[in-house]
Amino acid sequence: MVFDLNKCLGCQACTMACKTIWTDRNQGQMYQYWNNVETRPGRGYPKNWETLGGGFSGGKVDLGEVHVGVFPKITEDYGAPWQYNYDEVLKTDGGDATASLLGPSPEPDGPGAYANNWDEDVGDGDNPGNNYYFYLPRICNHCTNPACVAACPRQAVYKREEDGIVLVDQNRCRGYRYCVRGCPYKKVYFNTQEKLSEKCIFCYPRLEQNEQNFCFTQCVGRIRYVGYDTNPQANVNKLVDDWRVAMLLFPEFGTEPNLYYIPPMSPPGSNGQERIPIDYLAYLFGDNKDQKRRARIARIEEIFNILETERAKVAAGGASELIDILVAKSEADRLQLDLG
Protein backbone atom coordinates (compact mmCIF):
# COMPACT_ATOMS: atom_id res chain seq x y z
CA MET A 1 0.00 0.00 0.00
CA VAL A 2 1.02 3.60 -0.60
CA PHE A 3 -0.76 6.66 0.86
CA ASP A 4 0.08 10.04 -0.71
CA LEU A 5 -0.07 12.51 2.18
CA ASN A 6 -0.02 15.44 -0.25
CA LYS A 7 -3.60 14.58 -1.16
CA CYS A 8 -5.29 13.67 2.14
CA LEU A 9 -8.15 16.07 3.00
CA GLY A 10 -8.81 14.75 6.48
CA CYS A 11 -12.41 14.11 5.44
CA GLN A 12 -12.61 10.82 7.39
CA ALA A 13 -14.60 9.11 4.61
CA CYS A 14 -12.20 6.18 5.01
CA THR A 15 -12.77 6.07 8.77
CA MET A 16 -16.53 6.07 8.36
CA ALA A 17 -16.40 3.54 5.52
CA CYS A 18 -14.64 1.08 7.80
CA LYS A 19 -16.81 1.94 10.80
CA THR A 20 -19.93 1.40 8.72
CA ILE A 21 -19.14 -2.06 7.46
CA TRP A 22 -16.91 -3.62 10.15
CA THR A 23 -16.94 -1.98 13.58
CA ASP A 24 -20.55 -1.00 13.96
CA ARG A 25 -21.76 -4.54 14.50
CA ASN A 26 -20.92 -5.73 17.97
CA GLN A 27 -20.81 -4.25 21.43
CA GLY A 28 -17.34 -3.27 22.58
CA GLN A 29 -16.40 -1.92 19.15
CA MET A 30 -17.52 1.68 19.52
CA TYR A 31 -14.03 2.97 20.27
CA GLN A 32 -12.42 0.85 17.56
CA TYR A 33 -11.18 2.70 14.50
CA TRP A 34 -9.41 0.11 12.38
CA ASN A 35 -8.87 3.06 10.03
CA ASN A 36 -8.19 6.38 11.73
CA VAL A 37 -6.96 9.70 10.37
CA GLU A 38 -5.00 11.73 12.88
CA THR A 39 -3.68 15.27 12.68
CA ARG A 40 0.08 15.71 12.89
CA PRO A 41 1.72 17.03 14.91
CA GLY A 42 -0.75 15.55 17.38
CA ARG A 43 -1.11 12.72 19.81
CA GLY A 44 -2.96 10.27 17.61
CA TYR A 45 -5.17 7.36 18.54
CA PRO A 46 -4.65 5.92 21.10
CA LYS A 47 -3.04 8.94 22.75
CA ASN A 48 0.74 9.07 22.14
CA TRP A 49 0.63 5.59 20.62
CA GLU A 50 4.17 5.66 19.29
CA THR A 51 5.51 5.89 22.86
CA LEU A 52 3.51 2.98 24.27
CA GLY A 53 5.94 0.20 23.36
CA GLY A 54 5.68 -2.71 20.96
CA GLY A 55 7.70 -3.83 17.98
CA PHE A 56 11.04 -5.58 18.27
CA SER A 57 13.98 -4.78 20.48
CA GLY A 58 17.12 -6.96 20.42
CA GLY A 59 15.27 -9.51 18.28
CA LYS A 60 12.48 -9.94 20.84
CA VAL A 61 8.99 -8.49 20.99
CA ASP A 62 8.91 -5.42 23.19
CA LEU A 63 5.64 -5.53 25.11
CA GLY A 64 6.14 -2.05 26.54
CA GLU A 65 6.14 -0.83 30.11
CA VAL A 66 3.01 1.25 29.89
CA HIS A 67 0.04 -0.02 31.90
CA VAL A 68 1.53 -3.51 32.10
CA GLY A 69 -1.28 -5.93 32.85
CA VAL A 70 -4.05 -3.44 32.29
CA PHE A 71 -3.40 -2.06 28.81
CA PRO A 72 -5.41 -0.69 27.30
CA LYS A 73 -7.14 1.62 29.75
CA ILE A 74 -9.89 2.51 27.33
CA THR A 75 -10.96 5.87 28.77
CA GLU A 76 -7.43 7.00 29.53
CA ASP A 77 -5.75 5.86 26.31
CA TYR A 78 -8.55 6.19 23.75
CA GLY A 79 -10.90 8.60 25.49
CA ALA A 80 -14.59 8.78 24.77
CA PRO A 81 -16.81 10.23 22.05
CA TRP A 82 -17.32 13.96 22.34
CA GLN A 83 -19.63 16.68 21.10
CA TYR A 84 -19.31 20.30 20.10
CA ASN A 85 -21.57 22.94 21.67
CA TYR A 86 -23.28 23.65 18.34
CA ASP A 87 -26.54 24.58 20.03
CA GLU A 88 -24.84 27.42 21.90
CA VAL A 89 -23.03 28.80 18.89
CA LEU A 90 -24.77 28.07 15.62
CA LYS A 91 -27.87 29.98 14.65
CA THR A 92 -29.05 26.99 12.68
CA ASP A 93 -29.23 25.08 15.96
CA GLY A 94 -31.06 27.87 17.75
CA GLY A 95 -27.92 29.45 19.11
CA ASP A 96 -26.39 32.89 18.85
CA ALA A 97 -23.20 33.00 16.81
CA THR A 98 -21.74 35.63 19.12
CA ALA A 99 -22.59 33.72 22.27
CA SER A 100 -19.49 31.63 22.68
CA LEU A 101 -16.75 29.82 20.83
CA LEU A 102 -17.22 26.35 19.48
CA GLY A 103 -15.50 23.91 21.80
CA PRO A 104 -15.43 20.17 22.40
CA SER A 105 -17.21 18.73 25.39
CA PRO A 106 -15.80 15.34 26.27
CA GLU A 107 -17.61 12.81 28.35
CA PRO A 108 -16.16 12.23 30.87
CA ASP A 109 -14.66 15.72 31.13
CA GLY A 110 -11.55 16.75 33.03
CA PRO A 111 -7.86 17.54 32.57
CA GLY A 112 -7.09 14.09 31.11
CA ALA A 113 -9.99 14.23 28.64
CA TYR A 114 -9.14 12.82 25.25
CA ALA A 115 -10.78 11.21 22.24
CA ASN A 116 -10.21 10.33 18.62
CA ASN A 117 -9.13 13.53 16.82
CA TRP A 118 -9.04 15.46 20.07
CA ASP A 119 -6.26 17.65 18.72
CA GLU A 120 -7.78 17.91 15.27
CA ASP A 121 -5.99 20.60 13.26
CA VAL A 122 -4.25 22.21 16.24
CA GLY A 123 -0.92 21.76 14.52
CA ASP A 124 2.31 23.45 15.44
CA GLY A 125 4.57 26.35 14.47
CA ASP A 126 4.52 30.08 15.10
CA ASN A 127 1.31 31.87 14.36
CA PRO A 128 0.86 33.79 12.12
CA GLY A 129 2.84 32.76 9.12
CA ASN A 130 4.56 29.53 10.02
CA ASN A 131 1.90 27.30 11.48
CA TYR A 132 1.19 23.91 9.94
CA TYR A 133 -0.54 20.58 10.27
CA PHE A 134 -1.19 17.60 8.02
CA TYR A 135 -3.20 14.41 8.10
CA LEU A 136 -1.88 10.93 8.75
CA PRO A 137 -4.34 8.16 7.84
CA ARG A 138 -3.49 4.86 9.52
CA ILE A 139 -4.58 1.26 9.19
CA CYS A 140 -2.90 -2.00 10.19
CA ASN A 141 0.26 -2.27 8.10
CA HIS A 142 -0.17 -6.04 7.60
CA CYS A 143 3.52 -6.20 8.42
CA THR A 144 5.94 -8.71 6.93
CA ASN A 145 7.34 -9.28 10.45
CA PRO A 146 4.22 -8.68 12.53
CA ALA A 147 4.89 -8.10 16.23
CA CYS A 148 1.25 -8.91 17.02
CA VAL A 149 1.81 -12.43 15.65
CA ALA A 150 5.09 -12.85 17.55
CA ALA A 151 3.52 -11.59 20.80
CA CYS A 152 0.56 -13.97 20.91
CA PRO A 153 1.23 -17.03 23.11
CA ARG A 154 -1.79 -18.84 21.63
CA GLN A 155 -0.83 -18.47 17.95
CA ALA A 156 -4.23 -16.86 17.54
CA VAL A 157 -2.84 -14.05 15.39
CA TYR A 158 -1.57 -15.22 12.02
CA LYS A 159 -0.53 -13.99 8.59
CA ARG A 160 -2.40 -15.56 5.67
CA GLU A 161 0.04 -17.27 3.34
CA GLU A 162 -1.87 -16.54 0.15
CA ASP A 163 -1.94 -12.74 0.49
CA GLY A 164 -0.18 -11.68 3.71
CA ILE A 165 -3.30 -10.41 5.48
CA VAL A 166 -2.82 -10.49 9.28
CA LEU A 167 -5.87 -11.82 11.14
CA VAL A 168 -6.96 -12.79 14.66
CA ASP A 169 -8.50 -16.27 14.91
CA GLN A 170 -11.41 -15.47 17.23
CA ASN A 171 -11.73 -19.12 18.23
CA ARG A 172 -8.16 -19.27 19.50
CA CYS A 173 -8.03 -15.79 21.09
CA ARG A 174 -8.37 -15.75 24.88
CA GLY A 175 -8.18 -11.97 25.28
CA TYR A 176 -4.69 -11.84 26.81
CA ARG A 177 -3.97 -8.63 24.84
CA TYR A 178 -0.29 -9.41 24.21
CA CYS A 179 -0.98 -8.49 20.58
CA VAL A 180 -2.32 -5.08 21.63
CA ARG A 181 0.87 -4.43 23.57
CA GLY A 182 3.13 -5.97 20.91
CA CYS A 183 1.82 -3.91 17.98
CA PRO A 184 3.84 -0.69 18.03
CA TYR A 185 1.24 1.01 15.82
CA LYS A 186 -1.52 0.07 18.30
CA LYS A 187 -3.67 -1.31 15.55
CA VAL A 188 -5.09 -4.24 17.50
CA TYR A 189 -8.11 -3.32 19.63
CA PHE A 190 -9.48 -5.15 22.65
CA ASN A 191 -13.20 -5.76 22.59
CA THR A 192 -14.19 -5.10 26.18
CA GLN A 193 -17.53 -6.87 25.81
CA GLU A 194 -16.45 -9.94 23.90
CA LYS A 195 -13.09 -10.09 25.75
CA LEU A 196 -11.33 -10.76 22.46
CA SER A 197 -8.83 -8.87 20.32
CA GLU A 198 -9.99 -7.45 16.98
CA LYS A 199 -8.22 -5.66 14.15
CA CYS A 200 -8.33 -4.59 10.51
CA ILE A 201 -9.11 -7.61 8.34
CA PHE A 202 -8.04 -5.84 5.11
CA CYS A 203 -11.63 -6.38 3.92
CA TYR A 204 -10.80 -10.01 3.13
CA PRO A 205 -14.47 -10.98 2.69
CA ARG A 206 -14.73 -8.24 0.04
CA LEU A 207 -11.53 -9.33 -1.69
CA GLU A 208 -12.90 -12.85 -1.84
CA GLN A 209 -15.95 -11.46 -3.68
CA ASN A 210 -13.80 -9.49 -6.14
CA GLU A 211 -14.33 -6.15 -4.39
CA GLN A 212 -11.41 -3.91 -3.42
CA ASN A 213 -10.89 -2.71 0.16
CA PHE A 214 -13.64 -0.32 1.25
CA CYS A 215 -11.48 2.44 2.77
CA PHE A 216 -9.52 2.50 -0.51
CA THR A 217 -12.56 2.70 -2.76
CA GLN A 218 -14.19 5.40 -0.58
CA CYS A 219 -11.10 7.65 -0.33
CA VAL A 220 -12.25 11.07 -1.49
CA GLY A 221 -8.72 12.41 -1.96
CA ARG A 222 -7.71 9.35 -4.03
CA ILE A 223 -4.58 9.10 -1.92
CA ARG A 224 -4.58 5.30 -1.55
CA TYR A 225 -2.81 2.82 -3.79
CA VAL A 226 -2.78 -0.94 -3.36
CA GLY A 227 -1.27 -3.83 -5.28
CA TYR A 228 0.75 -6.99 -4.83
CA ASP A 229 4.55 -6.69 -4.58
CA THR A 230 4.82 -9.60 -7.05
CA ASN A 231 3.55 -7.37 -9.86
CA PRO A 232 6.27 -4.91 -10.90
CA GLN A 233 3.73 -3.04 -13.06
CA ALA A 234 1.54 -2.21 -10.06
CA ASN A 235 1.73 1.49 -9.27
CA VAL A 236 2.61 0.78 -5.63
CA ASN A 237 5.82 -0.82 -6.85
CA LYS A 238 6.53 2.01 -9.28
CA LEU A 239 6.13 4.54 -6.43
CA VAL A 240 8.23 2.55 -3.93
CA ASP A 241 10.88 0.85 -6.09
CA ASP A 242 11.16 2.81 -9.36
CA TRP A 243 10.44 6.40 -8.34
CA ARG A 244 11.42 5.87 -4.68
CA VAL A 245 9.08 8.55 -3.39
CA ALA A 246 7.50 6.61 -0.52
CA MET A 247 8.76 5.82 2.98
CA LEU A 248 7.72 3.78 6.01
CA LEU A 249 6.18 5.07 9.24
CA PHE A 250 8.52 4.39 12.17
CA PRO A 251 10.42 1.54 10.46
CA GLU A 252 12.64 1.36 13.55
CA PHE A 253 9.89 -0.65 15.24
CA GLY A 254 11.19 -3.56 13.16
CA THR A 255 7.89 -4.97 11.91
CA GLU A 256 8.55 -4.31 8.19
CA PRO A 257 5.25 -2.55 7.47
CA ASN A 258 3.59 -2.93 4.08
CA LEU A 259 2.12 0.58 4.06
CA TYR A 260 4.29 3.35 2.61
CA TYR A 261 3.69 7.10 2.74
CA ILE A 262 4.63 9.87 0.34
CA PRO A 263 5.69 12.63 2.76
CA PRO A 264 3.76 15.92 2.62
CA MET A 265 5.44 18.89 0.92
CA SER A 266 4.69 22.38 2.17
CA PRO A 267 5.01 25.92 0.86
CA PRO A 268 7.55 28.12 2.61
CA GLY A 269 6.42 29.89 5.77
CA SER A 270 6.83 33.62 6.28
CA ASN A 271 10.34 32.91 7.55
CA GLY A 272 11.27 31.47 4.14
CA GLN A 273 11.80 27.98 5.60
CA GLU A 274 9.86 24.83 4.76
CA ARG A 275 6.62 25.14 6.69
CA ILE A 276 6.58 21.53 7.94
CA PRO A 277 9.99 21.04 9.62
CA ILE A 278 11.85 18.30 7.77
CA ASP A 279 13.16 17.08 11.11
CA TYR A 280 9.61 16.28 12.16
CA LEU A 281 9.01 14.35 8.93
CA ALA A 282 12.27 12.46 9.51
CA TYR A 283 11.03 11.62 13.02
CA LEU A 284 8.03 9.90 11.41
CA PHE A 285 9.38 8.43 8.17
CA GLY A 286 12.34 6.29 7.16
CA ASP A 287 13.34 3.65 4.65
CA ASN A 288 14.44 0.90 7.02
CA LYS A 289 14.91 0.24 10.71
CA ASP A 290 18.61 1.09 10.81
CA GLN A 291 18.57 4.38 8.87
CA LYS A 292 19.85 7.32 10.92
CA ARG A 293 17.97 10.62 11.20
CA ARG A 294 20.40 12.49 8.92
CA ALA A 295 19.97 9.89 6.14
CA ARG A 296 16.21 10.10 6.56
CA ILE A 297 16.34 13.87 6.12
CA ALA A 298 18.44 13.46 2.97
CA ARG A 299 15.91 10.97 1.58
CA ILE A 300 12.96 13.28 2.25
CA GLU A 301 14.79 16.11 0.52
CA GLU A 302 15.50 13.77 -2.40
CA ILE A 303 11.79 12.86 -2.61
CA PHE A 304 10.74 16.52 -2.59
CA ASN A 305 13.27 17.23 -5.36
CA ILE A 306 11.88 14.39 -7.47
CA LEU A 307 8.30 15.59 -6.95
CA GLU A 308 9.19 19.19 -7.76
CA THR A 309 11.17 18.22 -10.88
CA GLU A 310 8.37 16.07 -12.24
CA ARG A 311 5.73 18.70 -11.44
CA ALA A 312 7.79 21.33 -13.25
CA LYS A 313 8.03 19.04 -16.29
CA VAL A 314 4.26 18.77 -16.50
CA ALA A 315 3.80 22.50 -15.84
CA ALA A 316 6.07 23.16 -18.83
CA GLY A 317 3.85 21.00 -21.05
CA GLY A 318 5.81 17.77 -20.76
CA ALA A 319 4.81 14.30 -19.60
CA SER A 320 5.65 12.50 -16.38
CA GLU A 321 4.82 8.92 -15.46
CA LEU A 322 5.13 9.83 -11.78
CA ILE A 323 2.65 12.70 -11.95
CA ASP A 324 0.25 10.56 -13.98
CA ILE A 325 0.36 7.94 -11.23
CA LEU A 326 -0.10 10.54 -8.49
CA VAL A 327 -2.99 12.24 -10.25
CA ALA A 328 -4.62 8.80 -10.61
CA LYS A 329 -7.42 9.72 -12.96
CA SER A 330 -9.13 6.36 -12.76
CA GLU A 331 -9.74 3.94 -9.91
CA ALA A 332 -7.83 1.32 -11.87
CA ASP A 333 -4.68 3.44 -11.42
CA ARG A 334 -4.90 3.06 -7.65
CA LEU A 335 -6.70 -0.18 -6.83
CA GLN A 336 -4.61 -2.89 -8.41
CA LEU A 337 -5.10 -6.01 -6.38
CA ASP A 338 -5.50 -8.75 -8.96
CA LEU A 339 -8.55 -10.42 -7.48
CA GLY A 340 -9.14 -12.84 -10.35
Applying CB under 6 A, the residues found at the interface with ligand SF4 are: 8-14, 37, 135, 137, 140-143, 146-148, 166, 183, 185, 187-188, 199, 219-221, 223, 255
Residue with the CB atom nearest ligand SF4 in the bound state: 221
* Minimum CB–partner distance for residue 314 and ligand SF4 (Å): 22
* Minimum CB–partner distance for residue 52 and ligand SF4 (Å): 12
The smaller minimum CB distance to ligand SF4, of residues 14 and 234, is found at 14
- Residue 157's H or E segment, with its range, is strand 157-159
The smaller minimum CB distance to ligand SF4, of residues 89 and 143, is found at 143
The smaller minimum CB distance to ligand SF4, of residues 224 and 275, is found at 224
The smaller minimum CB distance to ligand SF4, of residues 141 and 237, is found at 141
* Minimum CB–partner distance for residue 11 and ligand SF4 (Å): 4
**329: which DSSP letter?**
-
Backbone dihedral region for residue 189 (phi beyond 0: left; psi -120 to 50: alpha; all else: beta)? beta
CA–CA distance, 45 with 171 (Å, rounded to integer): 27
* Minimum CB–partner distance for residue 37 and ligand SF4 (Å): 4
* Minimum CB–partner distance for residue 137 and ligand SF4 (Å): 4
The smaller minimum CB distance to ligand SF4, of residues 14 and 246, is found at 14
The smaller minimum CB distance to ligand SF4, of residues 89 and 147, is found at 147
The smaller minimum CB distance to ligand SF4, of residues 166 and 307, is found at 166
Q: Which of 165, 213, 172, 167 is nearest to 188 (CA)?
A: 167
CA–CA distance, 262 with 225 (Å, rounded to integer): 11
- Residue 3's H or E segment, with its range, is strand 2-4
CB-CB contact of 245 with 284 (8 Å): no
* Minimum CB–partner distance for residue 102 and ligand SF4 (Å): 21
- Residue 280's H or E segment, with its range, is helix 278-284
CA–CA distance, 175 with 70 (Å, rounded to integer): 12
In order of 3, 116, 251, 260, 279, the CA distances from 76 in angstroms are 29, 12, 27, 30, 29
* Minimum CB–partner distance for residue 309 and ligand SF4 (Å): 25
**91: which DSSP letter?**
G
Three-state SS for 268?
A: strand
